[in-house]
Copies of this chain bind each other. A is one copy, B any other.
Amino acid sequence: MINNLLIIGCGLIGSSILRACSKKKVVKNIFVKEKSKLNIKKLKRLKNKFTIVNDLEQIIPKMDLVIICTHMSEYEKIISSVSKYLNAKTILTDVASSKEKIIKISNKKLKKGISWISSHPISGSEVSGPEHGSENLFHNKWCILIKEKKTNIKNLKIISKFWKRLGSKIVIMDAKKHDLIFSLTSHLPHLIAYNLIKTATDFERRRKYNLINFSAGGLRDFSRIAASNEIMWRDIFFSNNNNLSRVIDLFISNLKSFKKDILKNNNKVVLRKLKDAKKVRKKIIKIKQDINKPDFGRN
């Protein structure tokens, strides 16, 4: 059991870690550093036992584990301010969705001998804030742990055990591979969703048609993804911009070829593309990455 855990930034993910650690007795004492007064008010309504802290200088030397759960754009400042109080026995981790740039920052800002093991639990929602957290958020979900040349293997094992106790399934990869994979499975889908909603609303404004009224035929699904937290997603897009740019180009090139096939009534090619895409859904259901109900069980 970990004795002392500090969660820095306690929104959806931070408060889910808090709830799960408390419920599953993974940690003895939980401390929370949160700058938003509104979030603190919401956190105080939780029944879980934890302590709100302000003074990092006093608290950090006592910690076994520190998890940064703020927006990525705050990482540089936070790492700078915690670095001076950290000692070698404390493990530092985070939950960011994009890794190469924040690992560069940590290499620059952290003093030598501090163990940073970067984590990415693949769980979230279009809602944010501590009131939406859940003790089951990580249950049966992937958690990616980043292993680089310098990674301390002993501490990697400790972090792996920590996430497993919260219910996660662990995969280990390097930051480069992580950022490439998630540029396609998560960052591009979000950008596409935002862009589709933008295209629809631009068009609506120009034509004065009430498009949103008729969003049940497909658009509404994209609107859920495009309702995700804007600070979080700006940070991800900026942080993983090079991979994202490359997969945007692939996407556009495929879309142009699709358009050509459609305009030419290219029956065989279009049917093959649609059939191939359909197979992926079956695989996703089979490996339990989504619910096996038509229309996500909405109706």
Contact = CB atoms under 8 A, between A and B. Distances in A.
A297 interface: yes
A126 B290 CA distance: 14
Contacts of A233: 274
Contacts of A297: 296-298
A281 B237 contact: no
Nearest to A237: B262
A290 B218 contact: no
A265 B213 CA distance: 34
Given A184-B203, A203-B247, A276 B237 contact: no
A85 interface: no
Contacts of A270: 234, 237-238
A249 B166 CA distance: 45
- Best-surrounded residue of A181, A217, A250, A299 (most CB of chain B within 10 A): A217
A194 B258 contact: yes
Interface in A13-31: none
Interface residues of A, number: 105
Contact of A289 (B209, B212, B263): B212
A199 B184 contact: yes
B219 A245 contact: no
Interface string A219-243: 1111111111011011001100100
Interface string A271-282: 101111110111
A255 B248 contact: yes
Given A188-B199, A196-B251, A216-B289, 14 more contacts: A171-B213, A180-B209, A181-B214, A184-B199, A184-B203, A186-B214, A192-B255, A194-B274, A197-B276, A212-B280, A212-B284, A223-B290, A226-B274, A226-B278
